[in-house]
Structure 1
Amino acid sequence: MAQERPDLFELLNLAVTVTDFRTGRLRRANAAACALLGRSEVELVGTHWQDVAAPEERALWNKEIHRPGQRNPPLRRLIRLRRPDHSTVHVLVTSATVPGPAGREILSQLQDVSDEITANDRLRLILDNTPVSMFLVDRSGFVLASEGLMDATLSRLAEHPDVSVFTLFEDLPDAVGLLQDALAGRPLHHVIEAFGRCFDLHLAPISGPDGEVSYLTCVATDVTEHQQALATLRTRSIEQTLVADLGQQALEGLDATTMWTRAAQMLAEHLGGAAVRIHELDDAGQRTRTLADVSPADVTSADGAQAGVGRSEGTWCTPQLPAATVTNGHNLVVATGRGDRPSAVVEVSRPPPGPAFSEQDAQFVRSVGAVLGAAAMRFRMEDEIRRQSLHDGLTGLPNRTALLDRLDRALRRARGDGTRIGVLFIDLDGFKTVNDTLGHQAGDNLLRLTAQRLEHAVRPADVVGRLSGDEFAVLCEDIDSPTAIEAIADRVLATLDTPCVLGERTVLLSASVGIALSEPETADGEDLLNAADIAMYAAKRRGPGRRLAFDEAMRTRLLAQITDNDELRRVLSDDELVMRYQPIHDIDRGLAGVEALPYWLHPHRGLVPPAQFLPDPAHAGLRVPIDRWAVGRACRAAARWEDERGDGAPPPLLNVTVSSRCLVEDRFISELDLLLSATGAEVRYRLCLQIAEREVADDEPALLAAFGELCRLGVDLCIGDYGSALTTAAAMNQVPFRYIRFSGIYVDGVDRSPVHHAAAGALLHFAHELGIRTMAGDVTTSSQLNTLRAMRCDLFLGPVIGPSTARLPRLPRLPRLTGREDAQGTHR
């Protein structure tokens, strides 16, 4: 047996060593063992196992493998041995004590398991360092095996190995429920939350031979970061949708108040338990009014219940911050609008114990603030456009559109309340003169001053508007009688009559006011305003500074005038105009001349006097051709005047009324020069052109130049209807007027009324002091004639003097006038 043993020892492919039991030294090592340990048998024999073992396991080797004096059963142990090249080999040592030639020996089989150990270590490394945990659970809920990183789970299992998972994890009902469902035979895949983390859980039941589930494999993957990323993505998607919806709502025309409220509610709901306030900012960045104020209690949750948190009165951030900022984690503020001039500030507060705001929350508030800022700028621009469209840019008063809108609404209220609406239509007298003489800047200042005066003159609830040019209107509600609206009109006239200073000039201003009062059936504000407009023009025709209430007869006359104007466009071509001559007597009852008057020989109405058909001078297209025709016809007739006066007698007066527009018409002066020469004006007659005082008051440069040219041609000038306008002494001083014709209001009652008598006397004295001859028109009674003659009026005409005729009257021999009464007159 001793002779066969070495052969067998050497022939074994297994690594085998023999160790002396008593000394613990190696006595033999076959070739396989030498290859495993990286040493020759010579190097190994006589060494201790501690010499080839890894240093940290030498004591273990000595204790477990070498046990002198004991008879040990076979022992299996995994140890690490060190090679001369310092590499380590994992060896599974199976040792047994056997008898040998020199006593007991330790026979050891060495099995290299380095690859297995390495693979196992790598697997362990993977399991220990990946978010995957694996468990094997039996039907009773006991964990038979577990691997992975679920430290909280593993620590519970390690501390309580004899407790079922159904009891051990009863604080995680969702997870226990899934385990029970899987043990019922259903494979499951679910994401759960546990220990503050998120896990993707795969449960697979394993059936036994009887077909019943015996075991359950669980693979849990830590997907916390993934779930957080998904949650963040979902939150951002929701926030982007909310911001987009808010932007869409702002673009679709929500009013600003609704937009602010919706934005505040959206922020409060999305940020959960937050209170939101939005304040308007002034130019200095200070809060003014509150645009929206939403507390958690104002926000309805998804199930329709109100949030349980009461209104927060916490500390709010200061608004002087350009972008959203976290303050102590529980307050956010963002300014909206332009960066250099924010228009509002959004303030969000969620005091403890609510969670602090995250950077994502701050970004959301910034996005909402950006939308609100853009929308606020849009609303501001729209408000400005709307304001400009409804307000006059010069005075800031409501314009015609806005005034008509208010008037229509007031009429609807009045019909419901049974009240009446009054409208004043106001037109300034002489405004064009201010514009032409002082400049448009002065005119603009006058319009602004007029607007201020009107607002002070009317009642606080009345609405003053500017219609166009120098036209204004006043809307007066709750008018109980015509007297009430007339009182307002009188205050307007008195206020505007106050002198005003424009630059260094004092200007006297007056206005004409038309009054219209609604009836129960009045429904259209435009009709009521037009009625006041018609009344204003009727008042202006009576003279400046007057008011007149509308009546339907005015509308009838206006419609007739419009019809007449249409017909007047053809009268010249159809020879429907004829001339009539009104005699003019002097103070000695002699015939001093005639007034030439154009009449309309209407095919249906007969002979129409000029007062009933002549267009307003403003309608130059109709009036000027008639004026030119009248001057031409009168001068050519006067050239054939039968004159029985002796030589040296002054030529008789030929008075023709014309408009100022005619005098400044192109070629009028040059054509008149030719006409006067052709008709022998210096010998046969003396032409006097009469211009209404209200037109002389316009005092425009072109008209003053025309006056000078007319005087150069030897044409006399007469102010007609004197005393009805505001011709000042300065204007009289600029124009060489030869005659003044009193307005009819001074003639009527001059023989009965001390006031009229005094007024007429003052005008006569004024004219005579200037060397101007006076003419009284419309003298209807002998008493008037005698009174005026006693007051030394120079010329007279009217029904009491004589009727108008189709032919010029025969001129009797007249005495030559001397001194002040000389035909040439004495001028200033």
Structure 2
Amino acid sequence: MAWFRPGHEWDKWLMESVTDYAIFMLDSEGYILTWNCGAELIKDYRFEEIVGRHFSCFYLSNDVEAGRPDSALAAAAVEGRLEDEGWRVRQDGTRYWANVVITAVRDERGRLHGFACVTRDVSERRQRLQQLEHQALHDSVTGLPNRILFVELLRQALSRLERCPNTVAVLFVDLDRFKNINDSLGHEAGDQALCALGDRLERVVRPGDTVARFGGDELMVLCEDVTGAPHAATIADRIARSVRSPVILQNRELIITASIGVAITADPATSPEHLIADADAAMYRAKERGRGRVELFDSAMRSRADRLDNEVRLAQGLEREEFRLFFQPVIDLSQGATVGYEALARWEHPERGLLLPEEFIELAEETGLIVPLGTWVLEEACRDRMRHSYAEDPRTISVNVSLSQVAQPDLAEVVARTLSETRTPPSKLCLELTESVLMADADKAVTVLEDLKSLGVKLAVDDFGT
């Protein structure tokens, strides 16, 4: 780029035509040489007032003290171009948010002659972005931080425990029977109550604590630097008393109570999701014990929370196809030959690795997930036989059947459909049931066994899943 020459036609065009951008030239030391009308409008300096001054006059005083103007020129000189955003000041001292591009100007030999500067006032754009960011991170009704922001603030609080050992507390505040307000007085009244309660909580918590709305009738409080469980419980009690104070809605005095669950940790390795889940479990304990009270998370709730997590993960494992089928040979000892294969389910857990049946079958039975799991094992075993062209193979495939599957009225239909879809000869499928399955409901078992027998499949007694 040729060095800019004052008085050139280009200079005249810049001065007369461009008004949306401040365009001006600096010498190699940062002193202003030229000035267009856009610069006059944006920065509020006339040509004769600004030419010859150092461009650092556009920076905040603390930026000047920190050497930012000189650093910007040095970076532009090295890189050839620098783009930056930040606060700048006009002649009258008002601030605006500027997008600034500084380009180094060199001659054909590479010698630095100065800099070309282009500045835009992007204050409105920044304000719009800030509004969008606020809307994305705050509840539209109460203006409180929402779930996304709360989780991030909690994550930051937990990470600080590595540098400053302390205790973090999460308070899960659920407003009791709040649905009755929405149903009887309308959602507008419910929103007014939420705003009033949110304001109250912000007034009674300590400076630095965070009150958030998770959605519906759930509020959350994040407390750092608590001394332990009693301290956190004291804060929760103060919140509970505040919530109980009468709320005036539509000329009616309403008493609202809150069930509050408290969970604390001093371990920076704790995940935000686990701490929130612990507080949630404690909150449900408060509801179970009569509502309108505070409960601290304890080890008994931990096992319950872990169980709930495992139930969710088991259901997700089925949906995400994390289960695998392994085939164990069935040996006829009298002949020393393989006469069949038993299909065994294994869970390829993304975090815990390959899990054996004893680690998930009982939970699957108790949650009813054993039915879809058992159906998947049956279908996959038969599909495997079809994939590997075992049409002429005399060996059987054995599949375990659980008590819950036997209790399903359509078990025989499921087996028949699977045999048909996979073109598996009924005589090549052996269904294994445990003795406990047969004894749990003998009459039902006899009916199911007869239906299955009529399909032509083999039946055997075994221990499920092992």
TM-score (norm 2): 0.49
If each structure's helix is expressed as a fraction of its own residues, which one has the higher value? 2
Whose Rg is larger? 1
Instruction: Considering Cα pairs closer than 8 Å and 6+ residues apart, tell me whether 1 or 2 has the greater RCO.
Output: 2
